């Protein structure tokens, strides 16, 4: 991983933070996308402690908002000369149905649309850096989930676990289609539980 640049959303806690620290220790330069400044700065300090001498960085964005997703992707693309790995990891399970300012249900917006928009915004940088990799954090919670294209925003019926499972199914379907479309370009796309 030495010399590789890795962009990670949701890298300030859980799986994302563990991955960020482990990859940094292997020599990768980590570019975090964080919502909370204090958590982002704390994780950045941990990265500098675990892998000194590498210019890790953090960009702040609220990945519940489409404009913020687009802004931070453009900011990273403009700042980074290469991106070897994009790890779309930000996600959450929300107990109540809420809509973002864009009219998207929170779970769908964060767990799926952020992956889609970040990937689209960084696609050209990944292509130019090939071979490159896109990794999407999915979940076995997709099992039993179905997509209702007439109710993707869970307006007719909302259950937190159902919305979460549906968003994770979207991650898997997105990754499969991304892998198909990127075949032969030097970018691989994978998802994980």
Which residues are marked as active site? Answer: 164
Handedness of CA 44, 114, 16, 130 (dihedral sign): negative
Selection from 157, 87, 144 nearest residue 115 by Cα: 87
In whole angstroms, what is the distance from residue 151 CA to residue 171 CA? 17
Q: Which long-range contacts (CB under 8 A, 24 or more apart) does 116-119 make?
A: 116/174, 117/66, 117/69, 117/70, 117/73, 118/7, 118/9, 118/33, 118/63, 118/69, 118/72, 118/73, 118/86, 118/88, 119/86, 119/88, 119/178
Burial of 76 (0-12, 13-18, 19+ CB in 10 A): buried
Q: Residue 84 contacts by C-beta under 8 Å, 6 or more apart in sequence? A: 4, 5, 6, 28, 129, 132, 133
What are the residues facing 32 on neighbouring strands?
A: 8, 58
């Amino acid at each position: 991983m030495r010399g590789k640049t890795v962009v990670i959303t949701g890298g300030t806690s859980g799986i994302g933070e563990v991955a960020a620290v482990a990859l940094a220790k292997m020599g990768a330069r980590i570019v975090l996308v964080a919502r909370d400044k204090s958590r982002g700065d704390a994780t950045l300090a941990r990265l500098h402690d675990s892998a000194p001498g590498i210019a890790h960085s953090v960009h702040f964005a609220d990945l519940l908002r489409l404009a913020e997703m687009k802004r931070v992707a453009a900011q990273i693309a403009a700042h980074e000369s290469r991106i070897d790995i994009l790890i779309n990891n930000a996600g959450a399970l929300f107990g109540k149905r809420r809509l973002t300012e864009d009219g998207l249900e929170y779970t769908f917006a964060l767990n799926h649309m952020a992956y889609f928009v970040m990937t689209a915004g960084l696609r050209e940088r990944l292509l130019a850096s090939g071979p490159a990799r896109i990794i999407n954090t999915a979940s076995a919670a997709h099992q039993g989930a179905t997509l209702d294209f007439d109710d993707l925003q869970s307006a007719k019926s909302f259950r937190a676990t159902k919305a979460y499972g549906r968003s994770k199914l979207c991650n898997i379907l997105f990754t499969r289609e991304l892998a198909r479309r990127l075949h032969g370009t030097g970018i691989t796309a994978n998802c994980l539980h």
